[in-house]
């Protein structure tokens, strides 16, 4: 009997890695799935370590829910007599190809959702790899295993474990994972297996570290992995003699019917696809043509001339512009880093009407900006089908309802990186006479993704000099004849936001003199920017041990599990605000902190904008472009040669990791971040906040 939760020390150890390399090499030869990440890199080596001592004994193994898993084929290559099985014949061709390449005893089965139709007591080993969470009736699944196994046979299984009280969650579309207690009860209540396995302890001390690793593999991996090996007891299964031929006939009939109908459906589908593909191709090409920059200008220029929006050319300077549109559709941090630009813009264009367009998620952050006359929103998120055409329609509706009547002289898109947000078309459809943005030729990514966009602007700026994102925006002002008097960040909150922050502190009652530290464990939209949460927890423990402190954990929607995990482990001193604040409320809370420690994400730039010293943990992000702006901040990270800072075009971050694990994050120790935190706390504290800012007064 054995049960165990997955451990990162196993994953990173030489034994598990060597076994996984062997399995992947085997999979490559057979054309099956290979794994370099996900929980399979723990499950397969764990299973082999339990079974390797049994090879050569001609044992019969049934693998349930095989799909294109290489593990049962690896067992067959090592002398086991294996039956692969699934409820769908979709993997039948891959199994056939693998069987032709592997001279071993392996059979293929299409099975029912409730029973395998194998003879009673016909198997020595029942293998189940992450299948039980997909079974609606878990007890029935165990009973099926008990019937198929001979007395004394082995049930060996891996499974997902979800402990809701620990802040874990399991996606509903993936079934239902059991808790440790539910798994123990399942075996305790079974009449067919050794019940003592329920009394064995779980290695819960490994949960936090593994959960943090698991989250780096996919955003929905907010649960852990376990495994168990238990022996079938000697109790005989009550079975009628006539059931054996009935099951054999049903098994054969189901397999023949399922495989035959699958090949028939695939043939019909191929014919249908061949017939419809020309139509789909025409639709795709038509959409690409209609939403191209060339089509926009060919149709737009005559239309805007009819509207009277193409009067005599305007001098492309800020001084000449009386109505200005700014389009900034990217993320929270980008908006925070644009605040110096927004402040300097009216100083260089006194009296001009200024409209700002942002994405809906950012509206709350800039809603009270005193330097613009109105803030509008544009949502680029559309269904995938005809998505670009739908975005075009939304941009035109925004222009018709709000922009054309303003008769803008100048539209500015200050984003330097590739435009994934349709900002160029929003600027063009505004009808502005002069339109300024960075050229499609400033980076290789822009040349590929924004081909032809330069024709949408009257002045594309060709500046590929490495700069911080704050400087990028300010360079646009300089290119338009402006000057920069002050490049500090700032944000604008209201009395209701200040009242919320005061209420948070009042409810959690920090003692006078307690250290307030903000923590941001999330990595924005990239797991390659997220330092493991267990290290934030360890850092929090050390901060609490060093002095009386309260830890304010912040983050946005979708990141709640991180805050719940930190609050669960650290207890009452950790105030979990993840997903519970607006952006302005978060800014007001962070302004009250002595220090902020977090990954390169929106809250880091918000903390810098309200004047809170920041210790920024950088992994795969480009420091030249994204370090917290201003004085008094510290950046902690590893200067690895694979990082974006060492590439000529300085991409914003690594899209994927070239290694099997992100060394830039996982090799960054808690000790190193703690040293940076201690050094930051030794610096003099900034002055306390003054009166509650009104509209027009900024937090700096």
| Strands in 21-59 per DSSP E | none
Residue 90 DSSP class: G
Q: Does residue 287 contact residue 388 with C-beta atoms inside 8 Å?
A: yes
Same domain for 468 and 499, yes or no, is no
Banded model confidence at residue 292, pLDDT cuts 50, 70, 90: very high
Q: What's the pLDDT score for residue 697? A: 39
652 has pLDDT over 70: no
Give strand pairing partners of 434. Answer: 410
Mean pLDDT of 478-500: 96
691 has pLDDT over 50: no
Query: What is d(CA 210, CA 218) in angstroms, rounded to the nearest whole number?
Result: 13
Q: State the total domains in the chain.
A: 3
Q: For the beta carbon of residue 563, count every other beta carbon within 10 angstroms.
A: 24
Residue 87: inside a domain: yes
User: Mean pLDDT: which of 121-135, 297-311, 473-487 is highest?
Assistant: 473-487
Query: What is d(CA 685, CA 318) in angstroms, rounded to the nearest whole number?
Result: 39
Residue 249: inside a domain: no
Q: What's the pLDDT score for residue 383? A: 85
Q: What's the pLDDT score for residue 635? A: 94
Q: Which two three-digit tokens encode residue 465?
A: 């000099």
Last residue of a domain, one of 239, 261, 282: 239
Residue 288: inside a domain: no
Banded model confidence at residue 650, pLDDT cuts 50, 70, 90: low
Banded model confidence at residue 687, pLDDT cuts 50, 70, 90: very low
Same domain for 474 and 501, yes or no, is no
Say if residue 121 is exposed, middle or buried (CB neighbours under 10 Å; 0-12, 13-18, 19+): middle
Same domain for 328 and 467, yes or no, is yes
Same domain for 458 and 502, yes or no, is no
Same domain for 57 and 159, yes or no, is yes
Q: For the beta carbon of residue 205, count every other beta carbon within 10 angstroms.
A: 9
Residue 574 DSSP class: E
Q: What's the pLDDT score for residue 585? A: 97
Query: What is d(CA 311, CA 321) in angstroms, rounded to the nearest whole number?
Result: 14
Banded model confidence at residue 52, pLDDT cuts 50, 70, 90: very high
Same domain for 314 and 422, yes or no, is yes
Q: What's the pLDDT score for residue 646? A: 64
Q: For the beta carbon of residue 384, count every other beta carbon within 10 angstroms.
A: 6
Residue 489: inside a domain: no
Report strand pairing: 410-413 vs 515-520: unpaired
Sequence-ordered list of residues with C-beta below 8 angstroms from that of 646, at least 6 positions apart, any chain: none
Query: What is d(CA 620, CA 637) in angstroms, rounded to the nearest whole number?
Result: 9
Name the percent of the chain lying above pLDDT 70: 96
Q: Which of 468, 559, 469 is nearest to 519 (CA)?
A: 559
Mean pLDDT of 617-632: 89
Same domain for 394 and 509, yes or no, is no
User: Mean pLDDT: which of 105-114, 238-247, 500-509 is highest?
Assistant: 500-509
Residue 416: inside a domain: yes
Question: Distances from the Cα of 612 to the Cαs of 420, 512, 515, 589, 688, in angstroms?
Answer: 31, 19, 13, 10, 10
Sequence-ordered list of residues with C-beta below 8 angstroms from that of 556, at least 6 positions apart, any chain: 332, 522, 578, 579, 602, 603
Same domain for 461 and 500, yes or no, is no
Query: What is d(CA 668, CA 658) in angstroms, rounded to the nearest whole number?
Result: 17
Query: What is d(CA 71, CA 77) in angstroms, rounded to the nearest whole number?
Result: 10
Q: Which two three-digit tokens encode residue 592?
A: 């009250």
Q: What's the pLDDT score for residue 433? A: 94
Report strand pairing: 374-377 vs 459-461: unpaired
639 has pLDDT over 90: no
Q: Does residue 526 contact residue 620 with C-beta atoms inside 8 Å?
A: yes
Residue 699: inside a domain: no
Residue 61 DSSP class: E
User: Which CATH number fits the domain that encloses residue 168?
Assistant: 3.40.50.150
Last residue of a domain, one of 427, 444, 479: 479
Query: What is d(CA 637, CA 635) in angstroms, rounded to the nearest whole number?
Result: 7
Question: Distances from the Cα of 281 to the Cαs of 288, 289, 397, 607, in angstroms?
Answer: 11, 12, 27, 48
572-613 pLDDT tens trace: 999 999 999 999 999 999 999 999 999 999 999 999 999 999
Same domain for 166 and 26, yes or no, is yes
700 has pLDDT over 70: no
257 has pLDDT over 50: yes
Q: Provide the domain limits for residue 634.
A: 495-682
Task: Find the angle CA(410)-CA(411)-CA(412) to the nearest 5 degrees.
Answer: 120
- Three-class SS of 617-656: EECCECHHHHCCCCCCCEEEECCCCCCHHHCCCCCCECCC
Q: Which two three-digit tokens encode residue 455?
A: 């024709």
Query: What is d(CA 60, CA 266) in angstroms, rounded to the nearest whole number?
Result: 33
Query: What is d(CA 382, CA 172) in angstroms, rounded to the nearest whole number?
Result: 24
Residue 488: inside a domain: no
Query: What is d(CA 407, CA 352) in angstroms, rounded to the nearest whole number?
Result: 12
Last residue of a domain, one of 420, 453, 479: 479
Give strand pairing partners of 231. Answer: 154
Q: What is the mean pLDDT of the chain?
A: 90
Sequence-ordered list of residues with C-beta below 8 angstroms from that of 152, at least 6 positions apart, any chain: 231, 232, 234
Check the CA dihedral 123-125-127-132 and report its sign: positive
Name the percent of the chain lying above pLDDT 90: 68
Mean pLDDT of 280-297: 92
Same domain for 466 and 501, yes or no, is no
User: Which CATH number fits the domain that encloses residue 421?
Assistant: 3.40.50.2000
Q: In a 3-state reduction of DSSP, which class is residue 405?
A: helix
Least confident of 78-82, 149-153, 267-271, 405-409: 267-271
Q: What's the pLDDT score for residue 464? A: 87
Same domain for 172 and 228, yes or no, is yes
Query: What is d(CA 547, CA 345) in angstroms, rounded to the nearest whole number?
Result: 44
Same domain for 326 and 202, yes or no, is no
Q: What's the pLDDT score for residue 688? A: 39
Residue 253: inside a domain: no
Q: Which of 603, 436, 421 is nearest to 530 (CA)?
A: 603
Q: What share of the chain is helix, strand, coil (3-state, %, to 5)?
A: 45, 15, 40
Banded model confidence at residue 100, pLDDT cuts 50, 70, 90: very high
Sequence-ordered list of residues with C-beta below 8 angstroms from that of 55, at least 6 positions apart, any chain: 78, 79, 80
């Amino acid at each position: 009997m054995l049960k165990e939760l997955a451990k990162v020390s196993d994953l990173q150890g030489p034994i598990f890695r060597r076994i996984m390399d062997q399995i992947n090499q085997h999979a490559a030869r057979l054309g099956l799935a290979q794994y370099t990440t996900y929980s399979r890199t723990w499950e397969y080596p764990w299973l082999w370590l339990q079974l390797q001592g049994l090879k050569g004994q001609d044992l019969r193994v049934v693998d349930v829910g095989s799909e294109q898993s290489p593990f049962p084929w690896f067992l067959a290559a090592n002398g086991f007599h294996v039956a692969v099985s699934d409820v769908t014949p979709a993997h039948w061709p891959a199994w056939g190809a693998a069987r032709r390449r592997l001279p071993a005893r392996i059979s293929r089965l299409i099975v029912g959702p409730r029973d395998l139709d194998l003879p009673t007591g016909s198997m020595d080993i029942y293998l189940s790899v992450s299948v039980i969470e997909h079974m609606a009736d878990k007890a029935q699944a165990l009973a099926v295993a008990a019937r198929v196994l001979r007395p004394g046979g082995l049930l060996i299984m891996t499974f997902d474990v979800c402990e809701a009280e620990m802040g874990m969650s399991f996606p509903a579309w993936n079934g239902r994972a059991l808790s440790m207690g539910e798994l123990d009860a399942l075996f305790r209540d079974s009449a067919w297996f050794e019940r003592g396995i329920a009394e064995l302890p779980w290695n819960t001390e490994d949960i936090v570290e593994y959960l943090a690793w698991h989250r780096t593999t996919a955003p929905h991996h907010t649960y852990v992995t376990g495994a168990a090996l238990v022996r079938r007891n000697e109790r005989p299964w009550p079975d009628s003699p006539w059931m054996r031929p009935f099951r054999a006939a049903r098994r054969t009939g189901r397999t023949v019917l399922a495989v035959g109908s699958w090949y028939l459906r695939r043939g019909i589908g191929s014919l249908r696809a061949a017939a419809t593909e020309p139509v789909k191709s025409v639709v795709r090409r038509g959409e690409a043509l209609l939403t191209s920059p060339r089509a926009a200008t060919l149709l737009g220029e005559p239309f805007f001339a009819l509207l009277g929006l193409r009067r005599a050319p305007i001098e492309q300077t800020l001084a000449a512009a009386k109505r200005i549109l700014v389009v900034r559709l990217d993320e929270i941090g980008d908006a925070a880093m644009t605040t110096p630009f927004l402040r300097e813009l009216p100083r260089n264009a006194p009296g001009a009407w200024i409209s700002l367009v942002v994405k809906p998620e950012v509206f709350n952050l800039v809603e009270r900006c005193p330097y613009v006359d109105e803030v509008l929103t544009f949502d680029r998120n559309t269904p995938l089908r005809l998505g670009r055409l739908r975005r075009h329609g939304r941009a035109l509706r925004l222009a018709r309802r709000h922009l054309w009547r303003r008769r803008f002289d100048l539209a500015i898109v200050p984003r330097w990186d590739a435009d994934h947000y349709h900002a160029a078309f929003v600027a063009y459809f505004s009808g502005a006479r002069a339109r300024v943005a960075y050229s499609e030729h400033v980076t290789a990514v822009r040349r590929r993704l924004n081909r032809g966009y330069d024709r949408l602007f009257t002045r594309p700026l060709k500046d590929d000099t490495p700069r911080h994102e704050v400087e990028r925006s300010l360079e646009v002002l300089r290119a338009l004849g402006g000057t920069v008097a002050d490049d500090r960040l700032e944000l604008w909150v209201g009395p209701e936001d200040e009242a919320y922050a005061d209420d948070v502190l009042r409810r959690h009652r920090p003692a006078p003199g307690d250290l307030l530290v903000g923590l941001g464990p999330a990595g924005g939209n990239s797991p390659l920017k997220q330092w493991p949460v267990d290290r934030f927890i360890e850092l929090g423990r050390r901060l609490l041990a060093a002095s009386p402190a309260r830890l304010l954990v912040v983050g946005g929607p979708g990141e709640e599990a991180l805050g719940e995990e930190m609050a669960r482990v650290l207890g009452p001193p950790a105030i979990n605000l993840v997903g519970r604040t607006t952006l302005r409320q978060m800014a007001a809370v962070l302004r009250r902190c002595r220090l902020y420690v977090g990954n390169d994400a929106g809250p880091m730039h918000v903390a810098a904008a309200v004047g809170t010293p920041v210790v920024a943990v950088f992994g795969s992000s480009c420091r030249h472009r994204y370090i917290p702006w201003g004085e008094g901040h510290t950046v902690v990270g590893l200067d690895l040669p694979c990082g974006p800072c060492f590439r000529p075009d300085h991409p914003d971050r690594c899209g994927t990791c070239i290694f099997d694990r992100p060394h830039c994050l996982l090799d960054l120790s808690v000790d190193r971040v703690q040293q940076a935190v201690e050094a930051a706390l030794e610096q003099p504290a900034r002055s306390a906040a003054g009166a509650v800012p009104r509209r027009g007064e900024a937090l700096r």
